[in-house]
């Protein structure tokens, strides 16, 4: 009986404690949610971090990529700098760096790689300068094309750095660098135009797009510069009066903008405003290539160094000093300090070929000159003169040959009638003296050979004391005449 009672109690307990189908379903649901939390834990933590930092949530969780766009020397320098500062970063907080020229190949090589959360940093030329307006327009077009590629309504994070205070609509931010120089004529004209459009109130031209700037600068009227005269300073310091002959009467320090003197100069009175601005194009290009690009480079260096420093300081704070690294001690610190060749091998090969051709032509001209002089020396019974050096002996023989031929030419001209066309003399193939070929006379004419020719005693290499400058110049011209004439005879 006791066993029967204990068995019935066990069955009752089992039936009472057995889970119902509803309880089993809840168990699987909670288990699935628990697994999802653990599986997608990196995504939840990344989203939580982005909510705290105020960043977009739908950016990719994988490693970031940074594309730097600027002129080649700026972009390549920044690529090396950023890759070194992040070389020791942990994989969860590092970036891959690339560079491109937005005015050349950025669109063709990198826009197809744009994903959610890609970083794009581009330097913009100052489009307010008429020589750089087209360049800024090209850069803005490349940035807009890259920033318009979207996925789930999210695109890359793009930022521009430049002197023109204008922000592209599709970019995340724009950094405007201060201007530490005088305005160019195009900038002053834009300010006048914006002031006229605002009814006399001061208005900045920085809110205009590059296309709008191109249209305004191309249709600017010269009347905008009417009445502009450089202010005169009567009591000028002594050092200013001394440098005025170098800078001209209207020095830069007196101008309201660079080139203000052209608006009142009689030489440019008939030029339009666009023609006057065009005369500053080379100066603006030099400013962009040497000064403005350097300022953008420094701005990029400061920004990227602050970004790398913030990543470096994050890990010691969250790990109580256990995790951390020094970004200044990258793996490239132990390397052989070699310098790359600034000239490519193909350029060197082409230059060597050109030099080889020039050397061969000079060698042939030298051989032909020596042959021609030797043949005429034999015909004229001229013995080689013995001097201090072999080269001096050869040149002295050449001068002697030219003197004899010139005297022979003068004697034949005196004997010929005035109506006849006198022909200079030169040896023919048989050894006798014949009229000088036209190429020889023409070569002597082009090289500036004078008459009478310098004598052997006047040759600088055949005298104990150095000859005068005039004699040396005459000797060089006559030597060139011999080489030119021999080359033309060979042709």
Give how far the C-alpha of residue 13 lies from the chain's centroid of Cα atoms, to the nearest Å: 88
More confident residue, 126 or 347: 126
Query: Is the model's pTM score more than 0.75?
Result: no
Measured distance CA(4)–CA(11) in Å, rounded: 11
| Distance of alpha carbon 398 from alpha carbon 335, whole angstroms | 60
C-alpha dihedral over 357, 361, 367, 368, to 10 degrees?
150
- Residue 238, judged by CB atoms within 10 A of its CB (0-12, 13-18, 19+), counts as exposed
Confidence at 260, pLDDT banded by 50, 70, 90 = confident
* Residue 215: closest CA among 303, 134, 97: 134
pLDDT at 160 over 90: yes
- Return the top range by mean pLDDT from 174-178, 200-204, 210-214, 396-400: 174-178
Q: How confident is the model at residue 365 (pLDDT cuts 50, 70, 90)?
A: confident
Structure confidence at residue 239 (pLDDT):
62
Structure-token pair, residue 200: 């006399």
The alpha carbon torsion through 394, 395, 398, 402 (nearest 10 deg) reads: -170
Name the more confident of 221 and 332. Answer: 332
Of the candidates 461, 474, 478, 476, the one whose C-alpha atom is nearest the C-alpha of residue 387 is 461
CA distance 147 to 165: 19
Q: Express each pLDDT in 423-476 by its tens digit.
A: 444 444 344 433 444 444 444 444 444 443 444 444 444 444 444 445 545 555
To 10 degrees, the CA torsion angle through 18, 20, 25, 27? -30
Q: What percent of the chain has pLDDT over 90?
A: 20
d(CA 202, CA 146): 35
Residue 351: band (very low, low, confident or very high) from pLDDT cuts 50, 70, 90: confident
User: For 145-159, what is the mean pLDDT?
Assistant: 89
Residue that wins the pLDDT comparison between 426 and 488: 488
Q: How confident is the model at residue 218 (pLDDT cuts 50, 70, 90)?
A: low
373 — pLDDT class (breaks 50, 70, 90)? confident
pLDDT confidence of residue 11: 60
pLDDT beyond 70 at 59:
yes
Q: What is the pLDDT of residue 384?
A: 55
- What is the Cα–Cα distance from 427 to 268, expressed in whole angstroms? 60
pLDDT tens track for 235-251: 666 666 666 555 555 55
Please tell me what DSSP assigns to residue 122. E
Dist. CA 291–CA 285, nearest whole Å = 10
Q: Do residues 194 and 205 make contact, with C-beta atoms less than 8 angstroms apart?
A: yes
Query: What are the pLDDT digits (tens) for 71-86?
Result: 999 999 999 999 999 9
**Which residues, other chains included, contact 101 with Cβ-Cβ below 8 Å and sequence gap of 6+?**
69, 70, 71, 72, 75
Q: What is the overall mean pLDDT for the chain?
A: 73
Percent of the chain scoring above 70 in pLDDT: 59
In the prediction, which pLDDT does 162 show? Answer: 94
Question: In sequence order, which residues have a C-beta less than 8 Å from that of residue 125 and are 6 or more positions away?
Answer: 132, 135, 136, 139, 162, 164, 288, 292
Residues in the chain: 491
Residue 301 CB-density burial (10 A; 0-12 exposed, 13-18 middle, 19+ buried): middle
pLDDT confidence tier of residue 26, bands split at 50, 70 and 90: confident
Alpha-carbon gap, residue 210 to 213, rounded angstroms: 5
User: Residue 287 pLDDT more than 60?
Assistant: yes
Average pLDDT over residues 193-199: 71
CATH topology of domain 52-180+286-331: Rossmann fold (3.40.50)
Confidence of residue 142 (pLDDT cuts 50, 70, 90): very high
The count of other CB atoms within 10 Å of the CB of residue 199 is 7
Residue in this structure with the two tokens 């914006």, named with its chain if needed: 194
Contact between 409 and 401 (Cβ < 8 Å): no
Using DSSP's 3-state secondary structure scheme, residue 13 falls into helix
Return the top range by mean pLDDT from 11-25, 412-426, 458-472.
11-25
From the list 249, 247, 217, the residue with the least C-alpha distance to 233 is 249
Where is average pLDDT lowest: 70-74, 128-132, 383-387? 383-387
Do 210 and 140 meet the contact criterion of CB atoms below 8 Å apart? Answer: yes
Average confidence (pLDDT) over 38-50: 85
- Give the span between the Cα atoms of 208 and 136, in whole angstroms: 12
Domain boundaries, the chain: 2-37, 52-180+286-331, 347-490
pLDDT on residue 475: 53
295-345 pLDDT, tens digit each: 999 999 999 999 999 999 988 888 888 888 888 887 766 555 565 655 566
How far is Cα 138 from Cα 21, in angstroms, rounded to an integer?
A: 67
- What does the pLDDT read at residue 228? 52
Determine how many CB atoms are found less than 10 A away from the CB of residue 387: 18
What pLDDT, on the 0 to 100 scale, is given for residue 395?
64
Q: Where are the alpha helices (DSSP H) in 222-292?
A: 238-247, 273-278, 281-287
């Amino acid at each position: 009986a006791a066993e029967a009672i204990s068995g019935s109690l066990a069955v009752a307990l089992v039936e009472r404690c057995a889970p119902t189908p509803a309880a089993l379903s809840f168990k699987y649901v909670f288990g699935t949610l628990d697994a999802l939390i653990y599986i997608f834990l990196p995504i939840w933590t990344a989203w939580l971090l982005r909510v705290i930092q105020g960043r977009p949530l739908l950016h990719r969780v994988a490693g970031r990529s940074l594309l730097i766009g600027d002129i080649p020397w700026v972009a390549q320098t920044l690529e090396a700098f950023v890759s070194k500062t992040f070389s020791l970063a942990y994989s969860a907080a590092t970036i891959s760096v690339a560079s491109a020229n937005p005015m050349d190949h950025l669109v063709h090589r990198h826009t197809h790689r744009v994903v959610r959360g890609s970083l794009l940093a581009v330097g913009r030329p100052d489009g307010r300068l008429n020589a750089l307006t087209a360049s800024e327009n090209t850069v803005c077009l490349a940035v807009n094309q890259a920033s318009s590629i979207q996925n789930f309504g999210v695109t890359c994070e793009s930022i521009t750095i430049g002197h023109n205070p204008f922000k592209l609509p599709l970019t995340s931010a724009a950094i405007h660098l201060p201007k530490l120089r005088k305005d160019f004529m195009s900038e002053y004209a834009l300010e006048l135009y914006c002031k006229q459009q605002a009814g006399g109130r001061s208005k900045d031209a920085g809110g205009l797009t590059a296309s709008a700037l191109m249209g305004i600068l191309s249709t600017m009227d010269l009347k905008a510069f009417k009445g502009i005269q450089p202010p005169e300073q009567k009591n000028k310091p002594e050092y200013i009066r001394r440098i005025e002959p170098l800078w001209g009467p209207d020095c830069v320090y007196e101008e309201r903008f660079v080139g203000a003197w052209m608006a009142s100069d009689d030489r440019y009175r008939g030029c339009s405003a666009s023609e006057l601005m065009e005369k500053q194009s080379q100066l603006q290009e030099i400013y962009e290539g040497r000064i403005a690009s350097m300022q953008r480079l420094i701005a990029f260096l400061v920004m990227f160094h602050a970004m790398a420093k913030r990543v470096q300081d994050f890990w010691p704070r969250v790990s109580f000093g256990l995790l951390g690294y020094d970004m200044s001690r990258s793996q490239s610190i132990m390397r052989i300090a070699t310098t790359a060749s600034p000239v490519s091998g193909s350029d060197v090969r082409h230059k060597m070929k050109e030099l080889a051709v020039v050397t061969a032509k000079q060698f042939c001209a030298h051989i032909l000159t020596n042959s021609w002089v030797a043949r005429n020396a034999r015909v004229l019974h001229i013995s080689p003169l013995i001097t201090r050096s072999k080269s001096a002996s050869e040149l002295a023989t050449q001068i002697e040959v030219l003197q004899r031929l010139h005297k022979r030419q003068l004697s034949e001209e005196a004997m010929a009638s005035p109506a006849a066309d006198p022909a200079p003399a030169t040896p023919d193939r048989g050894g006798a003296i014949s009229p000088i070929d036209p190429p020889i006379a023409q070569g002597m004419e082009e090289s500036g050979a004078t008459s009478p020719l310098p004598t052997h005693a006047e040759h600088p290499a055949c005298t104990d004391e150095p000859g005068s400058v005039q004699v040396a110049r005459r000797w060089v011209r006559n030597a060139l005449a011999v080489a030119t004439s021999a080359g033309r005879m060979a042709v």
